[in-house]
Structure formats: structure tokens, C-alpha cells
Structure 1
Amino acid sequence: MDSPVLGLALLNTAAFLLCVTFLVYVGLIMAPYLRRQDNPPGCRDEYAWHYIVPCLDEEPVVAGTVAHLVADFPEATFWCVDDGSGDGTGAVLARLAEQHPQVRLVSRRAPEARQGKGAALNAAWRAIAASVPPGVDRDKVVVGVLDADARLDRWCPDVICGPAAFGDPEVSAVQIQVRVTCDPDAVLGTDLDRLADGARRPTDDPLLVRLQDLEFSGPIAAMQLLRQRAGSVGMGGNGQFTRLSALDRIALEFGTPWHGALLEDFELGLHLLLTGTRTAYCHDTAVAQAGLTELRPLLRQRCRWAQGGMQCARYLRAVFCSPQVPLPAALEIAYYLYVPWSQLLGSVVFPAAIGLDVWYAVHTAGGAPAWWAAGAWGVLPLALLFGVLPHIVWGPIYRSRSANPIGRGRAVLLGVANVAYGYVLQAAVWWALARLLRRRRDWQKTSHAAADSGSALATVAALPPAAVVPVARRPLPYPTGGAR
């Protein structure tokens, strides 16, 4: 066998194996996603609630987020971490803390500040742990993490207290569904009146933002539902909730709850599993966040995620050796950690296979038509089946499962755009590898739209009384019981 034929055979085999692995995984995650049923809610009044909002240069958005949280969740305490912001974030948070007794400001200054999101979350955890009175059952204290631009479903605390989540004493942490839009207020059911009045709808979002929403509410949610069965649900950076007792247990065993990986949320989930507790995913409630409207910031965000996944590969041995992690969970975690490396391999193998196919077609006796007629035509349906269809199918699924009013044709076009979206994001993996090789570990933070000078403080000053004064509701005492 001559070397071009041998090279073509090896490349096509490698491409085929990569595609089959991917297609099998898509089938595995799609089955529980399509069969999912709603879970009954519980009662939030059985728990004490603390929400952490980490902030680094979040002046444009954090005032609206805190106003939303205080109005919709008066039973909770909000810990806003100013991680050495260079804009007016600190002043905005200080003003909010003056106006709202349940808002607490955690200020971090150099050199401790700007050491990554995990360090900022650890600072808030220490403040929360110190504020909880002795004798309180720390199993009944829930710590949530929300982005500075987040909008949380007002029924979320009740939903995640259901029997499939914190209602199960073995569940230590819950991740909820994430939705992405240009207007986080409009995507959740909490603002049905705005939608009915013809306000901005999620369908008005630009294509890039819509693709992010498809990704989070489709493939990522499906992955989490598979993990629910395997026992390996991962935590996300937005919309994660953890029992304070579980965070304490991680700190006791590993030093702090959050650690230094750029994917600090997934790293937290690994530590939860390694300490012998269970994590759960709840698709019945959601948190909305603003999408990225430009490609470069999106690639920067995904670069951070990919590099964080590469960093977390160091836990693979501990996961497989731990008696606390079931084998299905360990296998799913291994596949997730393998994904960035498979994308690197695929981005080399697939173009090389196509290039060698073209070379072979040109140099075959009779030219490309003869090469095509000799059986090469079979490559095209295989490429469509393995490389295109698994991306396109999420368009129609998104239409049927996300309650977005789009037509069938538009859903198919969205699926076609999802093909390009998936392959473009592979550039972020190469960027992550370059940063890893250069030992770059700085936090590539996602930036939000800039605000005019003084506009955020003006927003705080102009908040109506309903947003400043907590809604009348029975204050929640700490549940008592044996401290754990």
C-alpha cells in the first residue's frame, strides 16, 4: 500500500472514530433530555438563603441585579464581592448595602484581589460562615452563586427544595438551567406581563446570542440530565446552590471550597463528589444572563472554560481511585475532560483527511469523477451523519423544548448555524492550549457593556421604594438543629 493510501486510511479511521464517539454521546444525552418530566417543588421556608454575587468591574449591571434579587427574594442575604474593581462597582455596592439591610459588601483589595473568581467566592464563604450563629443546622443553610447580570426565577428556591434536589438529604448541591439573552428580564416566566405587552422577546436576540441560548438550554442541559443519572452533575458559574455544610466539608479536607482552576465551578463539583456527597441538576427553574454579541469576547470566555477543563484533568486519577465516585460518574467526567483534547485532535485530523482526499482525487487515474465513482461518494453521507446532523438537530429541539415562538424553517436554519457555531468555537481550544503552555492563569473575565460615568449610582438613587424596601414577608429564622 502506497503512503498516500495508507495516510488516507489512517486519517479517515481516526476521523470516523472521533465522529462515532461524538455521535454516541449525543445520543446518550438526548435520551434523558427528551424523556424529562417535571419534578414537584418543595418549600423554601425550611432553609436559610445566602446568595454570592462576585463583581469585578460590574458597575453597568450590578445595581439592577441587586434590586431584582432584593425585591424577589426578601428572605435571603446577598453577599456582593467587590474584587478590586477599577470602575465604580465598589461605590455602587456600598450604596446598595446602605439601602438594603440584607445586602452585605465584601471588599477585596490588592494584593489579595483579582486572584480569580474562586478566591472571591472563598472570601464570601468565609464571611457567610462567620455570620451563621452557633447551633444552626448548616445543612439547612444554602449558598447560591449568581452572576452580576443574573435574573433568577422567583420560584427557584421552592423548586430546588423539591424531593429530587435539596429535599433529598443526600444532595449537597444543585445546578439550575441557564438561559442566555440580550434582555435577561424577558426570558423568564417572571416577566410574562412584559412579554404579553409586546416588550422585547428572546426571538429578537441576534443570532450569536440565540445560539448561546440554544447551547445552554439544549446540549448543556442535556449533558446535565445525563450526569444526573450517572451521578456526576457539574456546577456552573451561574445558578449553583450548595449546602453550607458541604462547603465546610470541602474546606476541611482540601483547604477551601473553591480552588484555582479557571473552571472553578466544575472544580467545586469534583470536590463535592470526592467528599462523598451527591449533586443534582434542576431543569424546572432557570437563571437568565446576558449573552455576548461579539465573537471575540465569546472566544475569550470559551478559552477560559477550555483551559479550566484542561487544568481539571489533574483530578482524573483521584476521581477513578475514589470509592465515593461511582464508575458511571467517573466515566462521564473522564469524557468531559477529554473533550477539549478531542477537539484539538479533530481540528487537525478532519482538515488533514479532507486535504488528503482532495489530493488522492486529483491524482487518481481518471481524475475526481473516477475517484468519486469508485466509492469515495460514501464519505459525504458519513460526513453529514457524523459531523453535521448532530448539530442541526438541536435547532428543532430548541424550538419544541424552550418555549420560543419560532417557526419550523427558522428552527432548521438555527440548527444549520449551530454547525458553524460549534466549529468556530474550536478556535478557543487552541487559544486555551497556548495559554496553558505559556503558564498563563489570569482570569479572562467576561465584560459587560460599559456604563456612562455616574449612571449606575444614578440608577441606585432612582430605584423605586418597592425595589429598595424588602417586600413584606415573614422573616426567615435560621433552622435550628445539631450543628454539622
Structure 2
Amino acid sequence: MSDTTQFATFMLVLLVFWPSYNLVLALFVWWRPKPGGPEVPSRHPLQYWIIIPALNEERVVANTVRSALALDGARTPVQVVVVDDGSDDGTPHVLAEIDDHRLHVLRRNLPDARKGKGEALNHAFRYVRGIAEETGTVHRTVIGVIDGDGRGAPGMLSEITSYFGQRDVGAVQCRVRIHNRTNLLAFLQDLEFSCVVDASQSLRDVVGTVGLGGNGQFVRLATLMQLGDAPWSACLVEDLELGLRVHLTGQRIRYATHATITQQGLVDVNRLLRQRTRWGQGNLQCLGYVPKLLRAKHVGSVALLEFLQYLLTPWLVAPMTLLITALVGINFYAQFSGHSIGSLTVNSGNTLLALAIWLVALVLPGLIWGVVHRLKHGDEPMWRCLAVGLAYPAFLILGSISTLRALYRHVAGRKSWAKTERLVEKESPASKPVPRVA
């Protein structure tokens, strides 16, 4: 086989794989089996403790607390713990105005405060553990984590409870959506979370490799207690690491396809890059779990491959990005100039056809997910869904840039991060009555 033929074959594989992968993943959304499972009858309902880590969250925390308290019901009793992690804005004042016996505010002061989200969650975990041990409710207590800008959908705890009816389930991860998606960048994040990530997590639910997210994770207290006094680590993505640790205990993590947490999307490109760089760097920090997964006898081969895929991908993005960029550059240079590169000769008469093929391969996945968003949610007009689909390739480029930055920061040993500020919300942070769901 000539070099020209080999090159053409390789480029064709690249062209076909990306849209085909996205199409198969999108079709899986419609095929996937019904979520949930047989619920084991219990004389006592699960007790939910929802932890809200708060560092300078005055703009959003009141709405988040009210939303969390509103999840309380006869079969899903809720207590809310807000960890004020050394806020120096109006967060303490906003929390003090919420008069509800189900709200527990834990104030952390310097030098103990501001050591990362994991430390704040561990502080609340020990508080809840103490109460559960005193009341003898450890084995029916579930700890949920909702970020300062998170909003839980009404009735979501019913679906989560159905998963915990399966005794081998140690944790449940909710679906995430973006509630300020009037902005194009925020809408792209909603497309990512509510369609692409939703489909990926649903597939992992079948394989048994569901990952935990920072927002909307629910874990049995007994499971957390198996992981020691500090189940959440100082990792930059403490949720990913916690998920891996839960899997290594032999317990399952399920993905709730309807129970939804909404959060603010970032509307500034620089802040988005900073967020995704932190995520990528945290992923790299979790690479040390690969040997443990390889030794885990209960992790099957398919599950192992899936774990390795999302742990190793950040390390492969940099060389693959450079390789694909170089190959595409060589291809287009040959197309436009008609010159040969080595033994590679491309007919310049096929330039327009090649451009058309590359353009279709580039934009087709985004358009697929745009259509999925419209059919699945129906809360945005089709023209907006198609427009955001066309912008999806640029969003992926931002992801590649952030991954390269994460690799650089990881190698350089840089771990410090500044907290991203929240946007001002329309609702007033003044205290309002919180209804109890029957």
C-alpha cells in the first residue's frame, strides 16, 4: 500500500469515527433501559442530609438553601447543612436571615477555612456522622452535595430513593443542567451536560462505571464511613476521586436520568477555560488509581477499559491534538498547492470536495446533539438548538486548550486556584417561607 493510500485511509478513519461515535452515543439515549430497580421495602424512610459548601456565595446561597429545603417530604425527610468556609462577603448575613430548624450552618474560620471544597465537605460529613451515630440512623442516612448555585428539581429524591433500594448501590449521581442558558456559552454547557454527558453517564450506568460529579452527588453515609475520616480528598476534582474510591469498595454508583440539578453556566470564556483546566488537572491527579483498578478483581474488563479511557484521555489529548493538526495542515497544504509532501501527492482538483467533507465531519456531531436537545427537552426552539450545535466545534477547541493548560500546570506542579464568582440572580436573597413537599 502506497504512502498516499495509507494517508488517505487514516484521514478517512478520522473523518468517519468522530461523527459516528457521537451518533451511536446519541442513539443510545433513546435505547437505554428504564432506570431504577426493585426497591427493597423499609419500615423507615431514608434520611437525607444535603451539604452546601459556601465560600462567598451571597448572590446565590439563599435560593439554593430554599430549593434544598423544599425537597423535604414525608418519605424523603431533608436536613440542610451549609458549610460557610470563611466567607468575607454577605454570606453569613444571608444565611442568618433564613429561619428554619432544618437548616444547620457550620462556620469555618481561618486558618482552618479555605482549604478546598473537599475539606469543607469532610467537616460537614463528620458533623452528620456524629448526629447519625447518636440517633442510630447511620444505615438509612444519605448525604447529598449541592453546590452554592445548585437547584434540585421537585420530587427528585423519589427517584434517588428507588436506586438506594438496591443494597449494592453506594451512591447516585443526578443529571445536571444549566439554568441561565440564554447566553450562547452557557447554552453550550447545557448541551454538554444534559445531552453529551447524560448519554455518556447512561452508557456507564449499563457498564457499571458511573462517575460522581461535584454537583448532585448522593452517597450513603455508611459508604462514606468506609473511606475514613475524610472521604473527600484535596484533589482538584474531589468528586471524581470519591467516585473511584466508591467503585473500589465494590459498591455500585447509579445515574439518575430524571432527577435533575440545575446550576449556573459560565458566560465568560476565560473563566470557562480556568474551570476546565482545573477539571483536567484534577483528572490527571487521579491517574494514580489506574494500578488499583487493574488489581481490583471485581472490576470487569469492559468496566476497566471505560475507567482507563476517561483517566488516560487527558494525557493523550496533547499529542493527538498536535498529530491531527499536523495531518490536517499537511492535507490542506497539498490540496491548495498541488505539491507533493514526501511520496504524498493530492490532486488539487478535489479541494472543494475535501473541504466539504471536513466541514460536514466537523459540524455534524454538534448538530446531532442540537437535535437531541430539542427532542429530549423541548424547552428551546429548534433554531437555537441548531445554532448552538454549529458552535459546538469551537467549544471542543476550548476544551482541548484547557486540557493542554492542565497538562502544563500538572507538570509544573501548580495547584493554586481562585474561586469563580457567581452571577447575580433575579430572585431576591431575602428569606422566604419554604414549603414542605407532601
Asked whether the two chains share a fold, i.e. TM above 0.5, the reply is yes
State the 1:364 CA deviation: 3.5
Give yes or no for the alignment of 1:360 onto 2:356. no
Greater alpha carbon shift after TM alignment, 431-440 vs 303-312: 431-440
C-alpha separation in 2, matches of 1:11 and 1:334: 28
Matched residue, 1:47: 46
C-alpha separation in 1, matches of 2:239 and 2:16: 29
State the 1:145 CA deviation: 0.2
Cα RMSD, aligned residues only = 3.2
CA separation of 1:17 and 1:40: change in aligned 2, threshold 3 A = closer
Q: Secondary structure at the match of 1:161?
A: helix
Aligned residues: 429
Is 1:18–1:346's contact at 8 Å kept on the other side of the alignment?
Answer: no
Give yes or no for the alignment of 1:147 onto 2:147. yes
Q: Secondary structure at the match of 1:132?
A: helix
Q: Secondary structure at the match of 1:259?
A: coil
Is 2:59–2:429's contact at 8 Å kept on the other side of the alignment?
Answer: no
Give yes or no for the alignment of 1:397 onto 2:396. no
* Matched AA of 1:88: G
CA separation of 1:136 and 1:382: change in aligned 2, threshold 3 A = farther
* Matched AA of 2:30: L
Mapping for residues 189-204 of structure 1, pairs under 5 Å: none
* Matched AA of 1:412: L
Give yes or no for the alignment of 1:447 onto 2:407. no
Matched residue, 1:119: 119
Provide structure 1 residue ranges, at least 5 long, that are not aligned to the other structure.
Answer: 183-201, 474-484
Give yes or no for the alignment of 1:240 onto 2:217. yes
State the 1:113 CA deviation: 1.7
Q: Secondary structure at the match of 2:347?
A: helix
Give yes or no for the alignment of 1:329 onto 2:303. yes
C-alpha separation in 1, matches of 2:66 and 2:195: 30
C-alpha separation in 1, matches of 2:370 and 2:227: 39
Percent identical among aligned pairs is: 32
State the 1:166 CA deviation: 0.8
Is 1:161–1:167's contact at 8 Å kept on the other side of the alignment?
Answer: yes
C-alpha separation in 2, matches of 1:288 and 1:310: 27
* Matched AA of 1:114: R
Mapping for residues 362-441 of structure 1, pairs under 5 Å: 364=338, 371-372=346-347, 379-380=354-355, 383-384=358-359, 386-407=361-382, 409-441=383-415
C-alpha separation in 1, matches of 2:385 and 2:212: 29
Is 1:178–1:216's contact at 8 Å kept on the other side of the alignment?
Answer: yes
CA separation of 1:428 and 1:270: change in aligned 2, threshold 3 A = same
Equivalent of 1:312 in 275, 286, 303: 286
Greater alpha carbon shift after TM alignment, 344-353 vs 142-151: 344-353
Equivalent of 1:214 in 179, 191, 194: 191
State the 1:35 CA deviation: 1.4
Greater alpha carbon shift after TM alignment, 370-379 vs 168-177: 370-379
CA separation of 1:128 and 1:313: change in aligned 2, threshold 3 A = same
CA separation of 1:379 and 1:85: change in aligned 2, threshold 3 A = same
* Matched AA of 2:378: A
Is 1:76–1:102's contact at 8 Å kept on the other side of the alignment?
Answer: yes
CA separation of 1:12 and 1:304: change in aligned 2, threshold 3 A = farther
C-alpha separation in 2, matches of 1:76 and 1:420: 41
C-alpha separation in 2, matches of 1:54 and 1:21: 41
C-alpha separation in 2, matches of 1:342 and 1:19: 19
C-alpha separation in 2, matches of 1:130 and 1:21: 52
Q: Secondary structure at the match of 1:73?
A: coil
CA separation of 1:412 and 1:391: change in aligned 2, threshold 3 A = same
* Matched AA of 1:411: C
Give yes or no for the alignment of 1:259 onto 2:259. no
Q: Secondary structure at the match of 1:335?
A: helix
CA separation of 1:20 and 1:442: change in aligned 2, threshold 3 A = farther
Is 2:174–2:259's contact at 8 Å kept on the other side of the alignment?
Answer: yes
C-alpha separation in 1, matches of 2:417 and 2:282: 10
Q: Secondary structure at the match of 2:190?
A: helix
C-alpha separation in 2, matches of 1:243 and 1:376: 58
C-alpha separation in 2, matches of 1:411 and 1:279: 31
State the 1:295 CA deviation: 1.3
Matched residue, 2:68: 69
CA separation of 1:364 and 1:132: change in aligned 2, threshold 3 A = same
Equivalent of 1:32 in 20, 25, 28: 28
Of the two structures, which has the highest relative contact order with CA contacts closer than 8 Å and spacing of 6 or more? Answer: 1
State the 1:438 CA deviation: 2.2
Alignment TM-score, normalising by the size of structure 1: 0.80
Matched residue, 2:171: 173
Q: Secondary structure at the match of 2:259?
A: strand
Q: Secondary structure at the match of 1:391?
A: helix
* Matched AA of 2:252: R
CA separation of 1:153 and 1:309: change in aligned 2, threshold 3 A = same
* Matched AA of 2:198: A
Is 2:71–2:437's contact at 8 Å kept on the other side of the alignment?
Answer: no
Matched residue, 2:85: 83
C-alpha separation in 1, matches of 2:346 and 2:189: 40
Matched residue, 1:132: 132
* Matched AA of 1:396: V
Matched residue, 1:196: none
CA separation of 1:250 and 1:121: change in aligned 2, threshold 3 A = same
Is 1:156–1:286's contact at 8 Å kept on the other side of the alignment?
Answer: yes
C-alpha separation in 2, matches of 1:396 and 1:259: 39
Is 2:143–2:219's contact at 8 Å kept on the other side of the alignment?
Answer: yes
C-alpha separation in 2, matches of 1:122 and 1:12: 54
Is 1:18–1:342's contact at 8 Å kept on the other side of the alignment?
Answer: no
Matched residue, 1:471: 436
State the 1:410 CA deviation: 3.9
Is 2:141–2:220's contact at 8 Å kept on the other side of the alignment?
Answer: yes
C-alpha separation in 2, matches of 1:115 and 1:12: 52
CA separation of 1:381 and 1:206: change in aligned 2, threshold 3 A = same
Is 2:176–2:261's contact at 8 Å kept on the other side of the alignment?
Answer: yes
Greater alpha carbon shift after TM alignment, 13-22 vs 126-135: 13-22
Is 2:202–2:255's contact at 8 Å kept on the other side of the alignment?
Answer: yes
Equivalent of 2:272 in 298, 306, 310: 298
Alignment TM-score, normalising by the size of structure 2: 0.88
Equivalent of 1:223 in 200, 223, 233: 200
> Could you list the per-position Cα deviations for residues 331-390 of structure 1 after superposition, in whole angstroms to 9, with x for gaps in the alignment?
1111112332333233312322232224434554699xx943576777546534644322
> Could you list the per-position Cα deviations for residues 450-481 of structure 1 after superposition, in whole angstroms to 9, with x for gaps in the alignment?
69xxx99x844xx24x23xx6386xxxxxxxx
State the 1:328 CA deviation: 1.6
State the 1:134 CA deviation: 4.1
C-alpha separation in 2, matches of 1:166 and 1:177: 16
Is 2:72–2:437's contact at 8 Å kept on the other side of the alignment?
Answer: no
Is 1:206–1:293's contact at 8 Å kept on the other side of the alignment?
Answer: yes
